[in-house]
Each structure stands twice: as C-alpha cells, then as structure tokens.
Amino acid sequence: MKKRAKMIILTIIIILWMAFIFSMSAKNSTQSANISGGFIYNILNTFFAKFRGIDKTTQDSIVEGLQFIVRKGAHFSAYAILGGLCFIDLTVLDKFKSKNNFIIAFIIVALYATSDEIHQYFVPGRSCELRDVMIDSCGALTGIIIVIVFSKLIKKLKQRHISQK
C-alpha cells in the first residue's frame, strides 16, 4: 500500500476514534454510570459465579465501588489507543524527524484530552477535571511508547530474519 493511502486510512481511523471518545463524553452522568456499571456487572456476572449469588443491594455496592477504577481505566485505554494511532500516522507521514513524532503525537493527544474535558463541562452531571487530562495524557504516552517498542522489536526480528537467509 502506498504511503499516502496508509496516511489517509490512519487519519480516518484517528478521526473515528476521536468521534467515539467525543460521543462517550457527550453522555450525561446517568448514561455514563449506566454504561460503566453495566460493563462491570456483566464482567462480574460472567466470570465470578459467587457474584450471581449475592443479593442485588450488595451487587450494586460492589459495582459502584469499582466504577471509579473502570472509568479511569477507560480514559487511559482510549487515549493510549489514540496516542499510538497518532504516532503511527505521523511516522507514516514522515514529514517530521522521528524524534519529533513522539512529541507531536503526545501534544496532539494532550490537546484533544484537554478539549474533551472542556466539552464535558457542558454535559449535564459531568465535570471538567485536570486529573482526567493527566490520566488521558499518561495513556497517550503509554500508547506511543508501546508502538515504539513494538516497532523496534519488529525491526529487529526482520533484520535477524534477513541476516539468517
């Protein structure tokens, strides 16, 4: 596939992922709690037989206690994916020196995280929190680092394979 086609496809994927993040942020507090709570309930109900035997009040209490961790994990994961995608896109684009791709991808995602938190300020029951921008930015950094590590690993494996021929 040509470099330009790869760049276009990656850019479309990034825009779609940003739209997904935006759509999740546009949910009011009740909708957001129902999504994360439903996710937790389904996981616990599927993988822990004892959870199914607990009374509904206790189940709700357990789910509520786990929501903070799940929500922040979702923030981290969504932005790790976005960071990795942005870094890959910039690397394919190759208009900047490789050293700058890391910084540029991180800045793009950190700015998007900031704009997303500002957007949440206007959603009923949601808030704009610096803590979430930091979690999102750490996720982006992790995603970028994972892509770098895997790309270096793949490059080494390819070099080893070529040298063995």
Question: pLDDT for 18-27, tens place per residue?
Answer: 999 999 999 9
- Radius of gyration (C-alpha) of the chain in whole angstroms: 20
CA 142/CA 75 separation, integer angstroms:
12
Q: Is 162 left (phi over 0), alpha (psi -120 to 50) or beta?
A: alpha
Q: What is the pLDDT of residues 46-96, one digit of tens each?
A: 999 899 899 999 999 999 999 999 999 999 999 999 999 999 998 877 765
Rounded CA separation 132/138 (Å): 10
Number of domains in the chain: 1
The proportion of the chain whose per-residue pLDDT surpasses 90, expressed as a percent, equals: 78
The per-residue pLDDT for range 107-151, each reduced to its tens digit, is 999 999 999 999 999 999 999 999 999 999 999 999 999 999 998
Handedness of CA 39, 40, 45, 49 (dihedral sign): positive
- Prediction pTM value: 0.88
Range of the domain at 81: 3-164
Say how many Å lie between the first and final Cα of the chain, rounded: 25
